[in-house]
Structure 1
Amino acid sequence: MNSTIDMYMVRAFFAVELTDDIRNQFYAVQDILRNSDAKVTCVDPALAHITMKFLGEISDDVMESVQEIMSEFTFKPTLITVSGVQLHPKKRPRIVWADVTDGGWGEATVAEMDRLLAPLGIVSEDRKFTPHVTLGRIKHYDRSLRAAVEEISGYTFGQMTVDTITLKKSTLTPGGPIYEDIMEVKA
């Protein structure tokens, strides 16, 4: 007799939440993006964040181990600046994002997270960590979008101190993602 157990999988990632002051700055910038002839799906500013590490679809057991490992994780608080808007990648852009300056904090923090989580089978990204906040996803590119981004490229959203990293569950729906906080890792 064969018995199969359905394992519940969770789509999860670690993120830095932004302050309301910074998030509120996104509305005006997104209005400028929408005024281009490109088709851009803007991220709800209330959901905007800096993705530190995407874990992918993980089982309950792995999620439990991630929480155990990360409950011991320590990091130093750091001041970040969210400013500048650009298209990414430069050729055939798919995303409009706000730049984040963190003095290398994010790259070092993610490298340590990668090291700690690797034994669980959670792989590190092939590309270098680049801190950013996604403002919108480009569904159809038009040159007018580049002109709009150039107009707001130097925009400053604000500064904040990062003292918490949040483990989030992400449920994809036709109306957009639904995020649920699983745990907070404090500095």
Structure 2
Amino acid sequence: MIRLFAAIPLPGEVRERLTDIAIDTPVGRAVDADLVHLTLSFFGEVTEPQGADLHAALLEVKGAPFDLALSGLGVFGRTRPRIAYAAVLPSEPLMRLQAKVAQAGRAAGLELETRRFVPHVSLVRLSGHRAEAAPIADFVVEENDAFEESVEVTGFCLYRSTLHRDGPHYDRLHGYPLGAFREV
């Protein structure tokens, strides 16, 4: 079994800026710059044949490149924060792409989470630090206007996630460009 998810990779300079913000948070564990991305759909544990079916379905996802707007910071779990994140504005092209990627997962026979898609980029994981996570809310309020960035999205990728003691490791398996010309 392999853990898979589809995500939009971010340019190196944007990942570095986000990591700099994360390192300044008063508690929690900052997400490593190499792991920073915008998840479109988490597919969970799948078999190798299901992964192949998923790849074939993702090859059929069509769309045009678009601009992605990141603006401000937030937290999931207001009273007991779990994750601090960079907010992503939910544009029509982004929401359409996410819906197509999720549909590709269902077409491959996978059962997906029913949670509503909230576009974000995780910056700090607070598990294990929840008792002392109250300062994160103050930090987010103080730094909310500190981050604004626009990124051109020209494709998305399928990643394998492997869990280790020091956190997850991600391997890019396939890329899916958006636009008129597609690599197979």
TM-score, normalised by the number of residues in structure 1: 0.86
What letter corresponds to residue 140 of structure 1 in structure 2? H
Q: Determine the structure 2 residue equivalent to 1:5.
A: none
Matched, 1:110 2:98: yes
CA RMSD of aligned residues (A): 1.6
What is the percent sequence identity of the aligned residues? 26
CA contact (8 A) 1:81 1:158 kept: yes
Q: Which among 152, 169, 174 is matched to residue 143 of structure 2?
A: 152
Matched, 1:51 2:43: no
Q: Determine the structure 2 residue equivalent to 1:165.
A: 156
CA contact (8 A) 1:114 1:123 kept: no
Q: Determine the structure 1 residue equivalent to 2:63.
A: 75
Question: How far apart are the structure 2 equivalents of 1:115 and 1:72?
Answer: 11
Question: How far apart are the structure 1 equivalents of 2:90 and 2:135?
Answer: 30
Question: How far apart are the structure 2 equivalents of 1:100 and 1:73?
Answer: 21
**Partner of 1:80: helix, strand, or coil?**
strand
Matched pairs, number: 175
Q: Determine the structure 1 residue equivalent to 2:12.
A: 20
Deviation at 1:119, TM superposition (A): 3.5
Stretches of structure 1 lacking an aligned partner (at least 5 in a row): 1-8
Q: Which has the greater radius of gyration? A: 1
Question: How far apart are the structure 1 equivalents of 2:118 and 2:96?
Answer: 11
Question: How far apart are the structure 2 equivalents of 1:146 and 1:116?
Answer: 36
What letter corresponds to residue 173 of structure 1 in structure 2? H
Q: 1:70 and 1:154, CA in 2 relative to 1: closer, same or farther beyond 3 A?
A: same
**Partner of 2:100: helix, strand, or coil?**
helix
CA contact (8 A) 1:22 1:157 kept: no
CA contact (8 A) 2:7 2:38 kept: yes
TM-score, normalised by the number of residues in structure 2: 0.88
Q: Determine the structure 2 residue equivalent to 1:120.
A: 108
Off by >4 Å, runs of 4+ in structure 1: none
Question: How far apart are the structure 2 equivalents of 1:54 and 1:144?
Answer: 29
Stretches of structure 2 lacking an aligned partner (at least 5 in a row): 179-184
